[in-house]
Structure 1
């Protein structure tokens, strides 16, 4: 009954993984995708996306981090899978789910779900080139144009030897609009023997249990829900034990955001740091009325120090 932190491009970076895994309840993370094209990427690119490779592919809290690759050239994807493993990745994940226009236009991510044969070839190349003891996994949606391709694509991945398949319960065209079609994940799960992990629209403990019931999956991947409620995984774990878990207060959350900002400042220019803090704050509006109240003022701030001052005023 694992809970996996989803890769969210431009948001779930190493500092957020450190912050959230410290809160607890998360069993595994996946990096933002590393885009593979025609040339071999140098090791520094892998380390940029997955600095955890310097410490046995674990966060400081000891949670394993998978390296995710995105691309459509099977041979190059295989070579990058091998390189990721050589640099210390304990799991290589393939992105067949990204709905971003620019990614799809360059034949990466979800657009590949129109071609299950190509998905098979990519996954097979990565599986063949990556050492047998390193699992190769994949993340996909239910389809590109509609939700009809989930079964065919999952079967193609299973035939290629993929160890696990995360299914986001929407098509590319559905984007991130509610609802999530968890019942369609159940159809995929019934069609393959490979372990299927449910993903999409899990914002609360109740959503988690409903998703498990409808999808039939024991494992779930959570993205936006964990950004909006940093202790959601810990609360779910408590509910699995039949215990109550006191929800995190706003003061604790601002402490997390401050730690995150500090970690970011070591990596990025200030203007990018405020951008990432705003992104997180925007999601926190779902879980915390204090974030909602703060938002009109915070969204106009461009510098890191005033942003942190604004946050700390809010909880004193």
Structure 2
């Protein structure tokens, strides 16, 4: 059984990947999508969205990182995949699941599920472009506005060379509205010879057990569930081994919050760092009543120094960062 951390754009960046993989239970993670249009992107684009590439393609906790590309031009995706591999990407992942309107309007993400032939062409070209030892994987939804082609799309991906397929068990139009249709993950797995991961609506151990029963697959990808409950992957991994990992308390979460905030302070503008903390804290309110109170205190706060005080942390730039300013 493998547990993956989902590539959520604008949420699971290098900071949150670092913090969540510290907790344990996550076998691999994926970058936010790297948008490919009509050229090979410069190294700076990869450094921005996949800085772990330049540190052995792993988070500080040692969790392997995959590079996710999004686009619709097979040749350009192939060229960028090859370049990402030269930079150290151990796996190339392709995004056919993003539901964002702006992305779909420019022929990216879930809108490509309307074109199974194009999915196949993209996989074939990317598979041809990267070294044989480097896997190419894909993430898809069940369709754009209907599920009728879900199996066709999955087969197009597998036949094109995808070695694994993650299925977010909703259509693009369904967005993130419950329920996730785990029974369709079972249909996809029956139709392809490669491992299929179930993704969507896994917020708890109970959800995981029901997902496994309905989908029939062992491998899962966690998104908002593990962001809201940082030890969810660890709980599931322990339960799968017949053990009980216990539940992370609010007190045990505090060092992670502090670490997240200090990293945001170092890596982001003071204008944007508070918003990133509030974004994660808002999701933690689903699991921790204490987060509701802290979020209320921070909601209108824009001063990084005041947030330092509320979190009880002392912020200081490291020496290389001082020299860079």
Question: TM-score if structure 1 supplies the norm length?
Answer: 0.96
Task: Indicate the residue corresponding to 1:242 in structure 2.
Answer: 242
Q: Is the 8 A contact 1:254 1:312 kept in 2?
A: no
Task: Indicate the residue corresponding to 2:52 in structure 1.
Answer: 52
Distance in 1 (alpha carbons) for counterparts of 2:68 and 2:5: 13
Map Cα deviations across residues 107-137 of structure 1 (whole Å, 9 max, x no partner): 0000000001111111111111011100000
Distance in 2 (alpha carbons) for counterparts of 1:140 and 1:246: 33
Structure 1 residue ranges, 4+ long, deviating more than 4 angstroms after superposition: none
Task: Indicate the residue corresponding to 1:179 in structure 2.
Answer: 179
Displacement of 1:311 in angstroms is 4.1
Say which SS state the counterpart of residue 67 (structure 2) adopts. strand
Alignment of 1:286-301 (within 5 A): 286-301=286-301
Measured on the aligned residues, the alpha-carbon RMSD in Å equals 1.3
Distance in 1 (alpha carbons) for counterparts of 2:99 and 2:240: 32
Distance in 1 (alpha carbons) for counterparts of 2:311 and 2:284: 12
Distance in 2 (alpha carbons) for counterparts of 1:40 and 1:157: 23
Distance in 2 (alpha carbons) for counterparts of 1:205 and 1:6: 17
1:74 matched to 2:79? The reply is no
1:307 matched to 2:299? The reply is no
Displacement of 1:63 in angstroms is 0.8
Say which SS state the counterpart of residue 78 (structure 1) adopts. helix
Displacement of 1:312 in angstroms is 4.8
Alignment of 1:1-316 (within 5 A): 1-312=1-312
Structure 2 portions without partners, runs of 5+ = 314-325
Say which SS state the counterpart of residue 95 (structure 1) adopts. strand
- The total of aligned residue pairs comes to 313
Distance in 1 (alpha carbons) for counterparts of 2:291 and 2:168: 27
Rate the CA distance shift 1:304–1:147 in 2: closer, same or farther, 3 A.
farther
Distance in 2 (alpha carbons) for counterparts of 1:13 and 1:61: 15
Q: Is the 8 A contact 1:166 1:221 kept in 2?
A: yes
